[in-house]
Chain A
């Protein structure tokens, strides 16, 4: 491909060599290569539907330059569910609490919630609300999402204490 850069990165544990335009976002790189589990809601960093883990940190992939990911590691929801215990627990809590409606924000929400919990997130509703405030959901009013994250956080705390 002309006018493109070649980058090497790990996506969901798999080493990939991909081509990208210099101005292309990580979101576009992922979706162009079939990672449709990463949703595109605004391409302006506002909605959080495209949240992925970059070197273990939750980022909005639409505002990350693809070429800056050369040599880095990306995980999408597909590469977390079933592999990562915390993600699986969050997924279970989301469905049990009715935290899903149209589902478009759900992958990003779960990654953002996992990021909060992985960074010592407490079972504190106010903190969870703040941590999740970068991910928009137009359907649910967030309450059931917060409930689901809170439940997993409380379980984690009791496991550590117990």
Chain B
């Protein structure tokens, strides 16, 4: 029996259950100093002077802008390094000489204890020249708006920044105007999605130990150990061979650590200056101000024929990415790609994206990289059009979706693949039976205080960013696998597991290829010194790309194993059979048809060793040549309380298409966990801040009073960076377990290891639109902005009643 598709206790289960799993904050090194950050109290200010002398008298080691200069120059970098350099904007330094958002770190202090470090921090004197901030992306582009930057770099080129526009991208295909001309009706609509926060449970942190050879050892909250190493090499001017980034568990990520975290180079620079190990762990409040999800304003235009064919579509996106570019360039490309890949649009697609600097916390990827945002706009639009034109929303989707044989843009316009496996049709057809779609009724038929509605939306995400040609994004992974002298196997992979079970999938692939029992496959603790490159665990690439590399390396080891077995059994390798023998707890090799004459994998490996033939091992790098979409469909039933505006979710059906399911429980965990986050994005989460002092060309409306017990600074989050005032779902708000149905489609991805592709980010893409569509079905009110809070629902109900 194969281990693929069966539930097995996860490899790191015992460590995590017993509290023995180490995370970055749990690293303790003798003589370690504790670091804290001095953060700008102004959302926009030049730093004229920093005086650290008093702090230093207290025994603290301080780091300021002057300390990060190499030959008089600060290294300007982008902390996100998954794009090729030529497609990477660089605008930041380890510490800045200008603060561009509230609480941006501008200096760091390390001392023997955290308490002393805080005392020393208070003794640091900073002189600022305060500048006016700008918060609204539309206002930021106006004449006279304060400018965050004059110049930044794109690759090696210096580029001017005008009107705070960081990036603009226009992408088109076909003839959009001709497409619209063929349509019987044109639909246009605006949508808006808020800033939210990753709220990964472990805050970002770093520990750095200087080594006697002048190098450093690094433990950091990271989704890519090699990404961290490369950036530290560049920013600190150290050879990569002197930087060892350890692979350590991460307490949730959701995209928040694709880039190298701000604390990491600061901690490393401090450790090098202090010549002592330094630990720097963000508080929750600091973490709120480190990265947030991209908020987007969309304008959608679609042309549709009376027969229900979409003839053309156009999407404009305005992105407010905050104070630094953690890569809105590929973000805009991806938004275009998610949009383009949902439907065929008669081949006529137009995209206009603008991404703008504002004096806010920088935005970075958060589960979906623009996909949940785009999907909310497009899948709401599909529902609007279906309703307006009298189409069945499922039939309309089936007529227009992109499936097998169509092109999918896995990571913007330069990374494309032909779809080879697709569960869209199955999920929609089976889903509508399971959920009683035909009986959902119209909102006009519904009565009473609590009104139920059923909505559907479908989405996808890419599995990695590989492709037949190189594009804007780097994608390959590596592995080293060896069969030990007792037949057990060590797998050394640089791939990070963010909790989703990537390592378990990798171990299963290796177990299956080498026919070694899973319990005898071990994942080695490792680091950047002993692994080759892997880009990052992002873009839902862990299983498909990271697992794909391990799969291909394991095939090479299998070849060596069979060659060696052939030498021992006096037979050609191709005449040998390799199977797992569960009674022996080993793999065995025998001549086909002659089971009597068999050797265990352990015996073969041992013979290879004692005969000095060498270890059965292989190390290699591998790039996936495709980026197959994994599809997800959500059918959501909502109950809207028309008296309180409260929305609950009595029932949900989640259909996932990840090709072969490798870990069924973990697959379900991805879908349900993502549903929880999508539900919160739709109904609860919103980072609001005090924007009163911001630049505006509009007359200031009398601002609503901010109800708070503490004064709120200009640019400050109204929740003060506290989880207590940032509503996340708890166990009580989730739909009841028995009413969450999880299914997988019967699909097989021919390019994936054992038919597998990804699932993670796909699982959130269509949650938002499915809920909003269900709300429309319940009460006949369309919401174009998230979150849909009880207050907003009530206001809308009252407005509708007045009409």
| B737 at the binding interface (Cβ < 8 Å) | yes
Contact A144 B201 (CB under 8 A): no
Alpha-carbon distance A144/B252, docked complex (angstroms): 17
Q: Which of B10, B252, B730 contacts A104 (CB 8 A)?
A: B252
| Residue numbers in B under 8 Å from A97 (CB-CB) | 665
User: 1/0 per residue A73-114: CB within 8 Å of B?
Assistant: 000111001100000000100111110111111110010000
Q: Which of A30-38, A64-72, A153-161 contacts B (4 or more CB under 8 A)?
A: A30-38
In the bound complex, do residue B736 and residue A91 qualify as a contact, i.e. CB atoms below 8 Å apart?
Answer: no
Contact B723 A101 (CB under 8 A): no
Q: B19's contact among A21, A37, A42, by CB below 8 Å, is which? A: A37
Q: A77 to chain B: closest CB distance in Å?
A: 4
B26's nearest neighbour on chain A, judged by CB, is A36
Q: Are A136 and B499 in contact (CB under 8 A)?
A: no
**For the complex, is A129 an interface residue (Cβ under 8 Å from B)?**
yes
Task: Answer whether residue B731 sits at the interface, using C-beta atoms and an 8 A cutoff.
Answer: yes
User: Is B731 in contact with A102, judged by CB distance below 8 angstroms?
Assistant: no
Among B253, B281, B672, B677, contact of A143 (Cβ-Cβ < 8 Å): B672
| B407 at interface, CB cutoff 8 A | no
User: A3's closest neighbor in chain B, by CB?
Assistant: B115
Q: Say yes or no: A100-B284 contact (C-beta < 8 A), given A39-B251, A77-B19, A147-B737.
A: no
CB distance from B110 to the nearest CB of A (A): 17
Q: Does B199 count as interface, using CB distance less than 8 angstroms?
A: yes
Give the chain A neighbours of B251 by CB distance below 8 A.
Answer: 39, 41, 102-104
Are A110 and B17 within 8 A (Cβ)?
A: yes
**Contact indicator B499/A102 (Cβ below 8 Å):** yes
Interface residues on A, range: 35 or more
Most chain B C-beta atoms within 10 Å of own C-beta, residue among A45, A98, A125, A129? A98
Assess whether A103 is in contact with B249, with CB atoms less than 8 Å apart: yes
Q: With a CB–CB cut-off of 8 A, which chain A residues contact B16?
A: 100, 103, 106
Choice from B201, B663, B731 contacting A133 with Cβ under 8 Å: B731
**Which residues on the A side are within 8 Å of B203 (C-beta)?**
41
B724 interface residue per 8 A CB criterion: yes
With beta carbons under 8 angstroms apart, the residue of B20, B249, B673, B724 that contacts A44 is: B724
CB-defined contacts of A81 to chain B, threshold 8 Å: 17-19
Do the beta carbons of A102 and B736 come within 8 Å of each other? no
Partner of A96, one of B9, B500, B674, B723: B9
Q: How far is the CA of A92 from the CA of B540 in the complex (A)?
A: 29
A107 partner residues in chain B, CB cutoff 8 A: 17-19
Contact of A119 with B by CB under 8 A: no
Contact of A140 among B26, B672, B736 (CB under 8 A): B672
- Could you tell me if A141 and B18 are in contact, using CB atoms closer than 8 angstroms? no
User: Chain A's nearest CB lies how many Å from the CB of B687?
Assistant: 16
Q: Complex: how many Å from CA A53 to CA B728?
A: 25
Contact A104/B283 with A77-B18, A133-B730 known, Cβ cut-off 8 Å: no
Closest residue on chain B to residue A144 by CB atoms = B669
The answer to whether B734 has its CB under 8 Å from any CB of chain A is yes
Contact A101/B669 with A49-B201, A106-B16, A142-B676 known, Cβ cut-off 8 Å: yes
A44 to B731, CA, bound (A): 19
A45 to B724, CA, bound (A): 8
A102 to chain B, nearest CB (A): 3
* CB pair B672 A138 closer than 8 Å: no
Query: What's the Cα separation between A101 and B21 when bound, in Å?
Result: 12
| B409 cross-chain contacts in A, Cβ below 8 A | none
Contact at B732–A129, with CB atoms within 8 Å? yes
- CB <8 Å contact, B284 and A41: yes
By the criterion CB–CB under 8 Å, are A94 and B723 in contact? no
Interchain CB contact under 8 A, A102 and B249: yes
List, in ascending order, chain A residues with CB within 8 A of B666's CB. Answer: 98, 101
Partner of A136, one of B18, B250, B674, B730: B730
Q: Please give me the residue from chain B that is nearest to A96 by CB atom.
A: B9
Which residues of the partner chain B approach A139 to less than 8 Å between Cβ atoms?
Answer: 201, 252, 499-500, 669, 673
Specify which chain B residues have a CB less than 8 angstroms from the CB of A29 in the assembled complex: none
Asked whether A102 lies within 8 Å of B252 as measured between CB atoms, the reply is yes
Complex Cα distance, B253 from A65, in Å, reads 30
Closest residue on chain A to residue B17 by CB atoms: A91
Residues of chain B lying within 8 A (CB to CB) of residue A140 = 669, 672-673, 676
Q: Does A46 contact B (CB under 8 A)?
A: yes
**Residues from chain B with Cβ under 8 Å of A44 in the complex:** 284, 722-724
B711 contacts the other chain (CB 8 A):
no
Is A145 an interface residue when CB atoms closer than 8 A count as contact? yes
Q: A34's contact among B28, B249, B284, B674, by CB below 8 Å, is which?
A: B28
A-B contacts counted at CB < 8 A amount to: 186
- Asked if A142 meets B734 with Cβ closer than 8 Å, knowing A77-B18, A78-B19, the reply is yes
Cβ of A132 under 8 Å from chain B: yes
Cα–Cα distance between A141 and B677 once the two chains are bound (Å): 8
Q: Is A146 an interface residue (CB 8 A)?
A: yes
Picked from B12, B21, B722, the residue with its CB within 8 Å of the CB of A46 is: B722
> Is A104 a contact partner of B13 (Cβ separation < 8 A)?
no
A137 at the interface (CB under 8 A from B): yes
Give every chain A residue within 8 A of B675 (Cβ-Cβ).
141
Question: Is the C-beta of B740 less than 8 angstroms from some C-beta in chain A?
Answer: yes
B284, A101: Cβ atoms under 8 Å? no
B628 lies within 8 A of chain A by Cβ: no
Chain B residues near A104 (CB-CB < 8 A): 23, 201-202, 251-252
Pick from A45, A81, A97, A102 the residue with the most CB of B within 10 Å: A102
A92 to chain B: closest CB distance in Å? 9
Contacts of B724 in A (CB 8 A): 44-46
* Residues of chain B lying within 8 A (CB to CB) of residue A125: 736-738
From B17, B115, B202, B499, A94 is in contact (CB under 8 Å) with B17
Nearest A residue to B200 by beta-carbon distance? Answer: A138
Among residues 117 to 153 in chain A, which have CB atoms less than 8 Å away from a CB atom of chain B?
125-126, 128-130, 132-147
In the complex, which residue of chain B has the Cβ closest to the Cβ of A91?
Answer: B17
Contacting residues, chain A, for B25 (C-beta < 8 A): 36, 39-40
Would you call B547 an interface residue if the criterion is a C-beta within 8 Å of the partner chain's C-beta atoms? no
B86 at the interface (CB under 8 A from A): no
Q: How far is the CB of A20 from chain B (nearest CB, A)?
A: 12
Contact yes or no, B7 A36, CB < 8 A: no
Is A47 an interface residue, CB under 8 A from the partner?
A: yes
Interface digits, B198-230 against A, CB 8 Å rule (1 contact, 0 not)?
111111000000000000000000000000000
Closest chain B residue, CB of each to CB of A34: B28
Q: Is the CB of A138 within 8 A of B732?
A: no
Within 8 A of A (CB), among B28-59: 28
Q: How far is the CB of A159 from chain B (nearest CB, A)?
A: 22
Cβ of B137 within 8 Å of any chain A Cβ, yes or no, is no
Contacts of B20 in A (CB 8 A): 37, 78
Q: In the assembled complex, how far is the CB of residue A65 from the closest CB belonging to chain B, in whole angstroms?
A: 15
Given A41-B202, A44-B722, A139-B673, residue A91 in contact with residue B734 (CB < 8 A): no
B14 in the interface (beta carbon within 8 A): yes
Taking CB as reference atom, which chain B residue is nearest A98?
B665
Residue among A40, A132, A139, A142 having the largest count of chain B Cβ atoms under 10 Å: A139
Find out whether the CB atom of A103 lies under 8 angstroms from the CB atom of B21.
yes
Contact (Cβ within 8 A) A102 B498 = yes
Is B655 engaged at the interface, CB distance under 8 Å to the other chain? Answer: no
Could you tell me the distance between the alpha carbons of A37 and B203 in the complex, rounded to whole angstroms?
16
User: What chain B residues lie within 8 Å of A76 (beta carbons)?
Assistant: 19
* Chain B 703-729 near chain A by CB (<8 Å), digits 1 or 0: 000000000000000000011100011
B731 touches A132 (CB 8 A): yes
CA distance A36 to B23 in the complex (A): 9
Known A98-B666, A105-B201, A138-B252; judge A38-B19 contact (CB<8 A). yes
13 intermolecular pairs with C-beta atoms under 8 Å apart: A21-B115, A38-B19, A94-B17, A98-B10, A100-B10, A102-B200, A130-B732, A135-B731, A138-B200, A139-B499, A141-B674, A141-B729, A147-B737
B-to-A contact residues, CB < 8 Å: 7, 9-10, 12-23, 25-26, 28, 115, 198-203, 249-254, 281, 283-284, 498-501, 663, 665-666, 668-669, 672-677, 722-724, 728-732, 734, 736-738, 740
Q: B-contacting residues of A (Cβ < 8 Å)?
A: 21, 34, 36-47, 49, 76-78, 81-82, 91, 94-98, 100-107, 110, 125-126, 128-130, 132-147
Counting from the closest, the 7 A-B pairs by CB-CB distance are A37-B19, A98-B665, A103-B16, A104-B251, A102-B499, A141-B676, A101-B499
